């Protein structure tokens, strides 16, 4: 019995549509990361991108628990002296409503070129409208994943 290893040209990709309204940020990010990596498929291969495309709508309506809205901070540094910047979750959601979800998902993907390739298949939008109707995204059932 040989172990099956997926080949890049054999991968079939599906477009999933996820409504983030009322979903918890971390729990939703795990589901999205698993779809992007392809871990929900029996043909999952760790060194090949077997994942699907994910379209997330209403990313601005994602919720977090506790006092994280004011306490959670996002940090970055330009590399120059005095280049340290920090932003609270509340400020980030005001300026860039999809970025909190994107940062959470990106942190759950591999930190290499494969992870970058998988992250490009995530399409997040703040409102209910998205330009990917032509791909016929299938609505993802969040209740079946609980």
pLDDT digits over 69-123, tens only?
Answer: 999 999 999 999 999 999 999 999 999 999 999 999 999 999 999 999 999 999 9
**pLDDT level of residue 144 (50, 70, 90 thresholds):** confident
Structure tokens at 82: 């005095």
Query: pLDDT per residue over 9-63, tens digit each?
Result: 999 999 999 999 999 999 999 999 999 999 999 999 999 999 999 999 999 999 9
Check residue 146 and give its pLDDT.
63
Domains of the chain, start order: 14-141 (3.90.1180.10)
CA distance 127 to 65: 22
């Amino acid at each position: 019995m040989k172990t099956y290893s997926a080949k890049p040209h054999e991968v079939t990709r599906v477009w999933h549509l996820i409504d983030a309204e009322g979903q918890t940020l971390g729990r939703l990010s795990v589901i999205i990361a698993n779809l992007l990596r392809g871990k929900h498929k029996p043909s999952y291969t760790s060194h090949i991108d077997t994942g699907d495309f994910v379209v997330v709508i209403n990313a601005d309506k994602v919720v977090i628990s506790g006092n994280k809205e004011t306490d959670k901070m996002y940090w970055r540094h330009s590399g120059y002296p005095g280049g340290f910047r920090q932003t609270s979750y509340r400020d980030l959601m005001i300026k860039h409503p999809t970025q909190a979800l994107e940062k959470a998902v990106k942190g759950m993907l591999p930190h290499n070129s494969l992870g970058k390739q998988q992250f490009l298949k995530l399409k997040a939008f703040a409102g209910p409208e998205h330009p990917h109707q032509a791909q016929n995204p299938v609505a993802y059932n969040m209740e079946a994943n609980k």
